[in-house]
Amino acid sequence: MTFALVSGVVVGAIYGLFAVGIVLVYRGSRVINFAAPALGTFALYLAWTMTHERTTSWWTAAILAILATGAIALLFERLVVQRMHAASPLAIAVATIGLMLLLTAIELLFWDPSPRFLPGPLEGDGIRVAGLVISPTQLLSLVVVAGLGYGLTQFLRRTDFGLGVQAAAMDPAALRLVGVPLAEVSGFVWATGGMLAAIAALLVEPTIGAFGPGFMTQAFFVPSLAAALVGGLDDVNGAFVGGIVVGVLSELTSWAFLGSSVPGASTVAVFILIVVVLLVVPGGLVGALRERLRTNLLATATGGLS
C-alpha cells in the first residue's frame, strides 16, 4: 500500500502539472482547455522527431518542443479564442475539442500509430522508497513540479501582470479600464497552459514507456480535469494538491483491484470523485478544507481572546 501511496504522489504531481495548465486558462478566460493533454502528446512527437531523426540532445529537443507547443496554444488563442469573443465559454471549450481532434489527426497523418518511446533526460538507478524505485526522471519531475508551482504562485501574486491574470475572468470591462492588458493576459495563459502540458508530458513519458497518437488524452485527460476540480478549478496551488489526491486515489484503487476481474477500476473511482466533488463541494475540496481550517483557526483565536 505504501507502494501505491508513493507512486500516487509521483504520478499525481504530473496530473497536477496538467491541472495547473487547465486552471491558468480557466482563470484567464473561464474556459476549460480540453486540448491540454493533446498538446502534451504533440510535444512528445516533436521531441521524439528531434532526438530520433536528428541527433538533438534531450534537453534541446525538450526546450524546443515546449516552446513550439506554447506557440501552437498561442496560435489557437489568436486564431480561434480571440475571434470567439462574443461566444460563450462553453462554445470556446468545445472549440478546444476541435484542437484536440486536429492535433491527434496530424499525429496520425505525419507519424504512424505505432508506439514510440522517448527516454528521459537522466540515467541511473534512482532511489528506493517503500519498495518502489523512483527513477531520476521522476525525481526531476517532482523537483520541476515543486519549482514551477512555487514560481507560478509567486508570479501570480507578486507581479502586476500576474494579478491581472488572477483577475482577468472577473470583469473584463472594468479590468480594461484599469489598464490590464487583456489580450496579453489571454495569450499568456493559453501559451503557458500549452507549455505546462508539454513539460508534464515530457516528464511522465519515460515512466509510462510508449506513446501513440492521442495518448495523453486517453490516460491523463480525466485525471487532470479531476485534479483541477478537486483544487477548485481556479486555484493554482489547489490544482497541485488535487493532482496528488487524484494520483493517490487512482493508484490505491488500482492496487486494491489488482488481479481482480475489474480492469481500469481507477477510472471508476476518478469518475465518482468528480461527481462527488462537483455536487458536494463545487468550490473544490481544497478550497473547502482551507475554508474550514480558517474558520476553525479563527474560532480558536477568538475563543482564546474572550
Partner 1 sequence: MTSRRAAALAALAVVAPVLLGHTTGIASVWYRIVAIGVTYALMTLSLNVLMGYAGQISLGHAGFLAVGAYTSGLLTSRADLSFVIGFIVAGLVGGAVALLVGLPALRLRGLLLAVTTIGFLVMMTESVLQWRWLSRGSAGVELPRPELGPISLAENSDYLAFLLLLFLAFWILDEHLTSSRLGRGFLGIREDEQVAASYGIDIARTKLTAFVLSGVLAGIAGAAFGHLALLVNSSTFSLQFSLSIVAWVIIGGLGSRVGVAVSGLLFGIFPPTFERLITWDPIRDHLDNLVLVIGATLFLVTITINPNGFVGAVREKREEKEADAARKALRAGLDDAEDPTLPSLPVPPARHGDLAPGTTVLEVSDIVVRFGGLTAVDHASFEVKAGEIVGLIGPNGAGKTTLFDAIGGFNQPRSGSVRLLGRDLSDLPAHERANAGLGRTFQRTGLAMALTVRENLLLAQYALASYDNLAALARTSAVRDAEAVLGARADEVIEALGFQAFSDLPVRHLSGGQRRIVEIACTLATAPDLLMLDEPTAGMAPAAVENLADRLRELRDEHGRTILLIEHHVPLVLDVCDRIVVLDQGRVIATGEPDAILSDANVLQAYLGERAARQAGLLPDDDVAGERDGELVG
The three cell numbers of residue 10 are: 509521483
Which residue from 1, 97, 127, 133 is in contact with partner 1, where contact means CB under 8 A?
Answer: 97
Which residue from 1, 3, 71, 91 is in contact with partner 1, where contact means CB under 8 A?
Answer: 91
Tell me how far, at minimum, the Cβ of 278 lies from partner 1, in Å. 6
Binding to partner 1 by residue 104, rule CB under 8 A? yes
In the numeric block, the cell 518502489 is attached to: 132
Binding to partner 1 by residue 294, rule CB under 8 A? no
The rounded distance, in Å, linking the Cα atoms of 102 and 105 is: 5
Tell me how far, at minimum, the Cβ of 2 lies from partner 1, in Å. 25
- Number of shown-chain residues binding partner 1 (CB under 8 A): 47
Binding to partner 1 by residue 150, rule CB under 8 A? no
Which residue from 275, 289, 297, 299 is in contact with partner 1, where contact means CB under 8 A?
Answer: 275
Binding to partner 1 by residue 102, rule CB under 8 A? yes
**CB-based contacts of 26, cutoff 8 Å, min separation 6:** 32, 33, 169, 228, 233, 234
CA atoms lying within 13 Å on the CB side of residue 61? 23
Which residue from 94, 122, 129, 288 is in contact with partner 1, where contact means CB under 8 A?
Answer: 94
The three cell numbers of residue 147 are: 519549482
Closest CA to 134 of 7, 252, 220: 7
**77 versus 205: smaller Cβ distance to partner 1:** 77
Binding to partner 1 by residue 147, rule CB under 8 A? no
CA separation, residue 156 to residues 163, 195, 257 (Å): 6, 17, 41
Please, which residues bridge with residue 163 across strands?
none
Tell me how far, at minimum, the Cβ of 130 lies from partner 1, in Å. 27
The rounded distance, in Å, linking the Cα atoms of 140 and 147 is: 10
Which residue from 258, 279, 301, 305 is in contact with partner 1, where contact means CB under 8 A?
Answer: 279
Which residue from 43, 61, 229, 241 is in contact with partner 1, where contact means CB under 8 A?
Answer: 229
Binding to partner 1 by residue 175, rule CB under 8 A? no
Binding to partner 1 by residue 256, rule CB under 8 A? no
Task: For residue 182, give the 3-state DSSP assignment.
Answer: helix
CA separation, residue 197 to residues 1, 136, 150, 183, 202 (Å): 29, 20, 17, 21, 9
What is the binding site for partner 1 (CB under 8 A)? 31-32, 79-80, 83-84, 87-91, 93-95, 97-102, 104-106, 108-109, 214, 217-218, 221-222, 225-226, 229, 261-265, 267-268, 270-271, 274-275, 278-279, 282
